[in-house]
Chains A and B, each alone.
Chain A
Amino acid sequence: MPEIIEQWQQGDVSAFETLFRQYERLVYRMAYLITGNKEAAENALQEVFISVWKSRHTYDPNKGKLTTWLHRITVNECSKRKHQKVSTTISLDEKGIDPPEMKRTTQPEEVAITRMEYERLLKAMAALDTKHRSVLVLRYFNDLSYQEIAEALEIPLGTVKSRLNQSLKYLKAQMSQGEAGV
């Protein structure tokens, strides 16, 4: 891996392709979760890797993981698009989605409930701004520690903590309101 990184930094396009193949899924998913829009995520994916190529000299392997660097670029790219319309049509779908595997063992009825819950959650999340959504995605999708989030976004640890708490509190409130409504 260090060889690939070195070759990429020296301008080797095939090494760059290897990196792209390795991380395209991560970047695309993150972008999709943050923007809530497939088209925006596709654009973001492209721009993130163009940016990764152009600024390959600014990446210092001694300073941090490549993924941290990628997270940062992706969040930045998505933030650029925040003025674009954030999708409000989040839905787990049309064709129907498969809930995560861990839920597979549960009862179909439960699955249905879970699906509804998910959709409501995602809708609520769409109302949040990019800053808060980014933190939520990095923590609960990418599974980064608070410290890693702070490094990736170049924000203080306390800010990570408060953003997450605010976001979760907001989502919790939305969910309980929904429940009350039902």
Chain B
Amino acid sequence: MRKEGMDCKEICELLTAYLDGEVTPKEKAYIETHLLGCPKCRAELEAFSATRENLRGALTAMAEQAALPPRIWERIKNRVEGEGSKFFRWDGFSVASLWRRPGWKTVLLSALGLIAIIGFSLTTVNVQSPEARAASIARSSPEVQAALNGEELEEIKVVTKVVDDEGNVLLALVQTETRALTATVDLETKRVTEIVRVHVPEFTSEDEQRARDIATADPRIQELLARGGIISRISPSRELSTFREGEVKMGATIYIELEGKVWRAHVDLEEGILRGPWPPPSLFSLSSVSMSHLFYRLVALGFIILGILVLVGLGLRNRLSEAIAGVTSVLLGIIGIFWGMYAMSSLPGALVLILGTSAIGLLIGIVDFKRRTGRRKTAIAGVVICSLALVWDIFNIIMAFRAKLEADRLLSPETPSGFSTEWVVPLLLILVGIVVIFLAVKYRKQLLGLFAAGKVRRLATITATAVVIIAAAAIWQFGGFFEVGAPPPAPAPAPAPEPTSPTVEAPPPVITPAAPTEPTPIPAPSLEPPPPMPAPPPPFERSVVPEEARYLPGESIDVTLSLTNTSANQMTLELWPPEIRVTPRLDWNDTLFSTASGTESRVMAPGETVSLDYTWDQKNFAGEQVPPGWYNILFGEITIRYGNSSTSFTPGSRVLIQYPQGATENSFDLNQSQTVNGITVTLERVELTADGSNFYFFFIPPGYTAPPTGHGLPPMPPTMSVMAKAEYSVGGITKYVGTAGFNTKGDGIKLIWGGGPGKLDPVPSDAQELIFIITQLNDWEGLWEFRVPLE
């Protein structure tokens, strides 16, 4: 009974469908069987049937009763035609009807957001970057013109910029390879507030040698060399931040070619430190700060455009969107291919975007292909291009990973290769991205369904627009948004220099070293062994005995060079014995005497020491005794090859040939002034010692004003600097003393030649008079001659 009751209830639920013929054959058979044995249900069915028939009749009767109301069409027509003026209508579209569609609101809002962002950025940046504005101010500044002394304006180039908190931009303006100015430009007043003349030291072959020594001593460089790398180029780089101090710090950039790729490292010649090596930059190397800003802005723009295209493609369901979807897919594929190339520039966070672009393009292409019945060519093209883009992106990312891992290994030799923690975040991001894309593809119907439902669709499109605009604004403003996975601490793959101490590499920018044509005594070339290096020492030791010594004229000068192989492998000394050269101490290029180098190689067993004795008889090529003074005895350059790498260096000894009669040892406070063409130079003090001599001058350059103070700032450096050269003669022998060092003093400038022990030659004790001539003082006409009585 109970069972029957249940059956009846179930049957009752199905009776309407049964009458309407909307039951399955199985249900039908079941119902009919049941009806045969259940009078109650049969009665029920009859009642249902009657009601159903009556309802049909009632509805029809009621409908027939309703006569069509008149003039409805006229009302509709009026409203339809009043929908916007003819001007804004084209082929059935009108601005008003576009606006009424939620997807279009999104598009318009996105476009407005884009315009707002660009507008905002343009107004704040004032079209030009601060650096560019400062450069143009400096170019047209009369102060700069004056400081250039009529030199060609075309020779001025902006090397770099340093923006300080006060909105000042410091520009380094390079005139020649050894001369430069720095100009501080106040962007608010648009005036040049400070000009400092800077002496840029020449990059000598010795500097190059030292850079090579330091680099080849580094185990990471050694590994590159051991793998067949070749040092292809060493070029000077100058720490421009040190331009402020008036003396430029020298560095060098080492280029190592390995398997067709160029690795780079930077050597700080003063500190003897090597930075790098940096892996080969990608196709689109973003080495400068401004470039990377540009990149991020391009990414931001791409993001906005992407957002708009996606929203147009997915958010709308009309013919226009269908037409756009295919193109969108193709465009995204192209963008994806383009961005794939950026994978190499190691912007880990951006990988999601790179992959995402192609993946979204693919998704749109597939959706478009599926829903369209007509022209499918663009959709197919989109799918094909996006698929290629995805493959290309993945390939690039894998290559970038490999390069990164290799770089990591070289950068930290102690850690075995493997995934470093810096890659966890980007890896997670990539995983999340892949999962999201997978889910998006899998549930695309549901996603598209979201867009179909009125309110949800509106909400979704507005939210998406907001997200796109916020993300774009964030990228635009903060750039580094993508650098979620922090780049390795030491060198970013493209070594973006810190803004406060940018480094100029010689070949790309401006300062190109010429072969040394004139002596450059300041700073004196260093003969000291390289300063302690952070890396393990090279696998050999070297020494020159004595490093510095004093002799009388005619004495034999004995110098011994020793090289010891401290490694466990044999080494080869190339072209042994090396050339030996004698030069004046301040002028390495003036070879007074030399011996030819050998042509053989000399193998050094592990632990072996090779010595080379040399005796100089104090004679020059002509066989004449050289005058007393400071000289260099230089060995080399010596090239040692070990394993697959080699290192070259030029060790040497500094010797002083003393005056037989002895040197004057005295100091004078002279305060002797000379005025030429209105410029007064005062020789304040002369210091003469057995080891050398120092000369101190003071002068007030024309147009020089006391450094301004204000804004609570400490007093600024002088607004002008000088380039001074001089020579002196004692007893008929004239000696070149090179360029002066300088200091500020009171309301003028202090010029110093010598300035330390043993730089300039000493003066004989029997000299009566010393004539010191300033041969060049900036570009002012004149010779300032001082006669110094020595008794």
Instruction: Let me know if B65 and A92 touch, CB within 8 A.
Output: yes
Give how many A residues have a beta carbon under 8 Å from the other chain's beta carbons. Answer: 63
Instruction: Let me know if A161 and B51 touch, CB within 8 A.
Output: no
- Point out which of A93, A125, A168, A171 has the most chain B C-beta atoms below 10 A from its C-beta: A168
Instruction: Let me know if B62 and A136 touch, CB within 8 A.
Output: no
Contact of B73 among A17, A119, A122 (CB under 8 A): A17
Contact of B62 among A16, A33, A58, A172 (CB under 8 A): A33
Q: 23 interchain pairs (CB within 8 A)?
A: A9-B92, A10-B91, A11-B93, A13-B77, A21-B73, A28-B66, A29-B66, A33-B62, A54-B97, A57-B101, A57-B320, A62-B373, A103-B57, A115-B61, A118-B58, A121-B54, A122-B58, A125-B55, A146-B22, A168-B52, A169-B12, A172-B48, A172-B51
Q: Which of B648-695 contact A (CB under 8 A)?
A: none
Is B190 an interface residue when CB atoms closer than 8 A count as contact? no
- Chain A residues whose CB sits within 8 angstroms of the CB of B373 once the complex forms: 62
Q: Which of B33-64 contact A (CB under 8 A)?
A: 47-48, 50-52, 54-64
Q: How far is the CB of A105 from chain B (nearest CB, A)?
A: 13
Contact of A28 among B12, B68, B80, B318 (CB under 8 A): B68
Least CB separation from B321: chain A residue = A57
- With contacts A46-B75, A161-B17 known, is A53 near B22, CB below 8 A? no
Contact with B along A158-176 (1 / 0, CB 8 A): 0001101100110110011
- With contacts A97-B65, A118-B61, A122-B62 known, is A140 near B92, CB below 8 A? no
Q: How far is the CB of B367 from chain A (nearest CB, A)?
A: 14
Instruction: Let me know if B72 and A24 touch, CB within 8 A.
Output: yes
Contact of B17 among A46, A114, A146 (CB under 8 A): A146
Q: How far is the CB of B56 from chain A (nearest CB, A)?
A: 5
Besides the known contacts A24-B72, A125-B58, A168-B51, 6 further A-B residue pairs in the complex with CB atoms under 8 A apart: A16-B80, A29-B63, A49-B76, A57-B319, A100-B64, A175-B50
Contact with B along A98-134 (1 / 0, CB 8 A): 1110110000000000110111011001000000000
- Chain B residues whose CB sits within 8 angstroms of the CB of A11 once the complex forms: 89, 91-93
Is A75 an interface residue when CB atoms closer than 8 A count as contact? no
Q: How far is the CB of A54 from chain B (nearest CB, A)?
A: 6
- With contacts A57-B318, A58-B317, A165-B17 known, is A140 near B52, CB below 8 A? yes
- Chain A residues whose CB sits within 8 angstroms of the CB of B63 once the complex forms: 29, 32-33, 141
Is A78 an interface residue when CB atoms closer than 8 A count as contact? no
Q: How far is the CB of A182 from chain B (nearest CB, A)?
A: 15
Is B623 an interface residue when CB atoms closer than 8 A count as contact? no
Q: How far is the CB of B25 from chain A (nearest CB, A)?
A: 16
Instruction: Let me know if B55 and A10 touch, CB within 8 A.
Output: no
Least CB separation from A12: chain B residue = B92
Contact with A along B308-321 (1 / 0, CB 8 A): 00000000011110
- Chain A residues whose CB sits within 8 angstroms of the CB of B72 once the complex forms: 24, 42, 45-46, 49
A50, B77: Cα distance in complex, Å: 9
Instruction: Let me know if B20 and A164 touch, CB within 8 A.
Output: yes
Instruction: Let me know if B62 and A176 touch, CB within 8 A.
Output: no
Is A80 an interface residue when CB atoms closer than 8 A count as contact? no
Q: How far is the CB of B599 from chain A (nearest CB, A)?
A: 87
Instruction: Let me know if B59 and A137 touch, CB within 8 A.
Output: yes
Is A65 an interface residue when CB atoms closer than 8 A count as contact? no
Instruction: Let me know if B318 and A118 touch, CB within 8 A.
Output: no
Is B589 an interface residue when CB atoms closer than 8 A count as contact? no
A180, B196: Cα distance in complex, Å: 114
- Chain A residues whose CB sits within 8 angstroms of the CB of B12 once the complex forms: 169
Instruction: Let me know if A168 and B57 touch, CB within 8 A.
Output: no
A45, B51: Cα distance in complex, Å: 29
Least CB separation from A38: chain B residue = B66
Is B166 an interface residue when CB atoms closer than 8 A count as contact? no
A149, B59: Cα distance in complex, Å: 17
Is A69 an interface residue when CB atoms closer than 8 A count as contact? no
Is B16 an interface residue when CB atoms closer than 8 A count as contact? yes
- Chain B residues whose CB sits within 8 angstroms of the CB of A136 once the complex forms: 55, 59
Contact with B along A136-150 (1 / 0, CB 8 A): 110111000110000
Is B79 an interface residue when CB atoms closer than 8 A count as contact? yes
Least CB separation from B65: chain A residue = A97
Instruction: Let me know if A165 and B80 touch, CB within 8 A.
Output: no
